[in-house]
């Protein structure tokens, strides 16, 4: 393998998964992260669907992930007064369909796993590095950070989140390989739009107020809650989403008093059958309020030696738990193709044209499924938030009678999961296909031989 090096910008979960994939692909990399430290208490819960559980297995992380997983079996949908709309064993059924379960984690614990288990993480992850500008030339790239340090490599993977600096740099000068520095005069790509605002976090577990292993979803006009109970970790995770009067592209950091006022406006809404949000929020151990952007970057995902993945490229509403899953899938596809390029010519570094070929092929493969996941996530947000009278009626009186959640799982989510792509150069030690079948990639010494549906 040539001395090819990827500069990964952003050590969010997608950037960390990219680090693991690159390690296994034998591709050198370093990760630059804006924050000074990892806040492992931060975040609500984060679920991985079975296609990405397969990736954890390939990366050798599955055994430990199993010890961190918060097991769920049932989903209970309620109204704002706590009365039950429906109950299903949807979450248990995921494992029957796909072999692997739906694995839900405290986000901080998942990030910690990814960070801790990354080989040579202390020399490969650099915190306190706010990437500000990039210079590209025939041989590679140089990244300059706010502290005036520079880092050189062969390409950049921009996984710096929804308000991505790297996306802005790509969009501002899509084809000119010259010094690129964001400034007030640099044209910006349109930021992604938010139609909802969210308050999410975790609270102390309240014995007796919730059923263990159950995931509650409150359905009400223009709002929806999700609450997961995690007795083994003494926590419960919550996320409340409310429709904004008007969609916005504003970027705003909500203050604690704005957050508390928002929580007060939802205080009487039930988060579980017997618990109001007031009682849950009063016990919050960490919470955060943010606009919930959605969309796929309209600008190209790559330019010169720079490419995007994760929320920087595609951002979705969280109800269906697909955002990180989509980001991992993008990284898997990108690393598969990058490794294939590098193993074909092991003695020479690929030029810019060859890299752009890989980036374009990657975008061509990922743009459509990412857009579909954005759409699916949008529906998963809007349907329980009763966007119109039809949804309000269907959700309360039709879907419960026909097993709506199970149907949506079997005929919508299962299709997405089934199409999931694993790394094409690593074995799956705990391979499972469930009743739904999975995509299988044949592996031999060097060669990707294609995707074979079972």
Ligand X SMILES: Cc1cc2nc3c(=O)[nH]c(=O)nc-3n(C[C@H](O)[C@H](O)[C@H](O)COP(=O)(O)OP(=O)(O)OC[C@H]3O[C@@H](n4cnc5c(N)ncnc54)[C@H](O)[C@@H]3O)c2cc1C
**Contact residues for ligand X, defined by CB under 6 A:** 9-15, 32-35, 44, 46-47, 129-131, 159-161, 165, 198, 200, 239, 310-311, 318, 321-325, 327
Cβ–Cβ under 8 Å, residues 223 and 319: no
In the bound state with ligand X, the residue whose beta carbon lies nearer, of 66 and 392, is 66
Shortest distance (Å) from residue 157 CB to ligand X: 11
Shortest distance (Å) from residue 143 CB to ligand X: 9
Phi/psi-derived region of residue 244, left when phi > 0, alpha when psi is between -120 and 50, beta in every other case? beta
| Dist CA 288 CA 198 (whole Å) | 8
H helices of 125-217, in order, are 165-172
In the bound state with ligand X, the residue whose beta carbon lies nearer, of 130 and 341, is 130
Cβ–Cβ under 8 Å, residues 420 and 433: no
Shortest distance (Å) from residue 198 CB to ligand X: 6
In the bound state with ligand X, the residue whose beta carbon lies nearer, of 159 and 332, is 159
In the bound state with ligand X, the residue whose beta carbon lies nearer, of 342 and 382, is 382
In the bound state with ligand X, the residue whose beta carbon lies nearer, of 101 and 327, is 327
End-to-end CA gap in the chain: 32
Shortest distance (Å) from residue 447 CB to ligand X: 30
Residue 61: which residues within 8 A CB-CB, separation 6 or more? 20, 113, 114, 117
Shortest distance (Å) from residue 240 CB to ligand X: 9
In the bound state with ligand X, the residue whose beta carbon lies nearer, of 84 and 285, is 285
In the bound state with ligand X, the residue whose beta carbon lies nearer, of 12 and 101, is 12
Cβ–Cβ under 8 Å, residues 108 and 119: no
Residue 93: which residues within 8 A CB-CB, separation 6 or more? 406, 409, 410
In the structure encoding, which two tokens stand for residue 200, read together?
Answer: 């999410």
Q: How many alpha carbons fall within 13 Å on the CB side of residue 261?
A: 5
In the bound state with ligand X, the residue whose beta carbon lies nearer, of 38 and 386, is 38
In the bound state with ligand X, the residue whose beta carbon lies nearer, of 311 and 428, is 311
CB atoms within 10 A of CB 255: 10
DSSP state of 27: -
Shortest distance (Å) from residue 129 CB to ligand X: 6
For residue 28, give the nearest of 140, 164, 149 by alpha carbon: 140
Cβ–Cβ under 8 Å, residues 222 and 269: no
Shortest distance (Å) from residue 368 CB to ligand X: 18
**Helices 90-98 & 50-58 angle (0-180, nearest 10):** 50
Shortest distance (Å) from residue 105 CB to ligand X: 9
Shortest distance (Å) from residue 387 CB to ligand X: 20
The H-or-E segment that residue 296 falls in is strand 284-296
In the bound state with ligand X, the residue whose beta carbon lies nearer, of 44 and 342, is 44
Q: Which residue is nearest to ligand X (CB)?
A: 12
Cβ–Cβ under 8 Å, residues 238 and 44: yes
For residue 102, give the nearest of 209, 228, 238, 217 by alpha carbon: 228
Shortest distance (Å) from residue 356 CB to ligand X: 22
Shortest distance (Å) from residue 286 CB to ligand X: 12
Which residue in this structure is represented by tokens 């263990």?
A: 212
Residue 264: which residues within 8 A CB-CB, separation 6 or more? none
CA angle 416, 422, 423 (to 5 degrees): 150
Distances (CA, A) of 331 to 220, 222, 397: 36, 34, 41
In the bound state with ligand X, the residue whose beta carbon lies nearer, of 146 and 261, is 146
Cβ–Cβ under 8 Å, residues 276 and 270: yes
């Amino acid at each position: 393998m040539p001395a090819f090096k990827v500069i990964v910008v952003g050590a969010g979960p997608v950037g960390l998964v990219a680090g693991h994939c690159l390690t296994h692909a034998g591709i050198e990399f370093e990760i630059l992260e804006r924050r000074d430290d990892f806040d492992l208490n931060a975040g609500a819960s984060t679920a991985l669907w079975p296609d990405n559980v397969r990736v954890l297995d390939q990366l050798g992380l599955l055994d430990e992930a199993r010890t961190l997983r918060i097991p769920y079996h049932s989903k209970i949908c309620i109204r704002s007064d706590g009365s039950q709309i429906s109950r299903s064993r949807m979450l248990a059924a995921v494992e029957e369909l796909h072999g692997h379960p739906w694995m839900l984690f405290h986000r901080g614990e998942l990030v910690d796993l990814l960070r801790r288990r990354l080989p040579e993480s202390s020399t490969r992850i650099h915190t306190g590095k706010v990437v500000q500008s990039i210079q590209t030339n025939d041989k590679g790239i140089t990244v300059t950070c706010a502290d005036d340090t520079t880092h050189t490599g062969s390409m950049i993977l921009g996984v710096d989140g929804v308000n991505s600096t790297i996306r802005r740099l790509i969009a501002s000068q899509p084809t000119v390989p010259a010094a690129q520095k964001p400034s007030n005069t640099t044209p910006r790509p349109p930021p992604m739009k938010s139609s909802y605002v969210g308050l999410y976090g975790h609270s102390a577990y309240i014995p007796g107020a919730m059923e263990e292993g159950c995931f509650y979803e409150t359905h009400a006009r223009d709002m929806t809650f999700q609450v997961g109970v995690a007795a083994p970790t003494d926590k419960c995770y919550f996320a409340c989403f409310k429709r904004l009067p008007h969609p916005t592209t504003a970027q705003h950091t909500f203050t604690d008093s704005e957050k508390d006022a928002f929580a007060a406006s939802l205080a009487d809404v039930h988060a579980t059958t017997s618990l109001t949000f007031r009682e849950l929020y009063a016990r919050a151990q960490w919470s955060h309020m943010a606009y919930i952007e959605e969309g796929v970057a309209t600008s190209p995902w790559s330019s010169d030696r720079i490419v995007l993945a994760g929320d920087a490229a595609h951002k979705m509403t969280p109800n269906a738990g697909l955002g990180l899953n989509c980001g991992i899938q993008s990284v898997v596809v990108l690393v598969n193709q990058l490794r294939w390029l590098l193993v074909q010519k092991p003695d020479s570094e690929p030029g810019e044209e060859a890299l752009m070929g890989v980036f374009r092929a990657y975008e061509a493969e990922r743009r459509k499924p990412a857009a579909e996941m954005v759409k699916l996530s949008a529906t998963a947000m809007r349907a329980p938030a009763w966007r119109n009278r039809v949804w309000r009626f269907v959700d309360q009186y039709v879907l419960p009678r026909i097993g709506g959640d199970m149907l949506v799982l079997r005929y919508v989510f299962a299709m997405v999961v089934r199409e999931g792509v694993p790394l094409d150069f690593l074995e799956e030690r705990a391979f499972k296909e469930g009743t739904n079948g999975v995509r299988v990639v044949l592996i031999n010494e060097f060669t990707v031989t294609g995707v074979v549906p079972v």
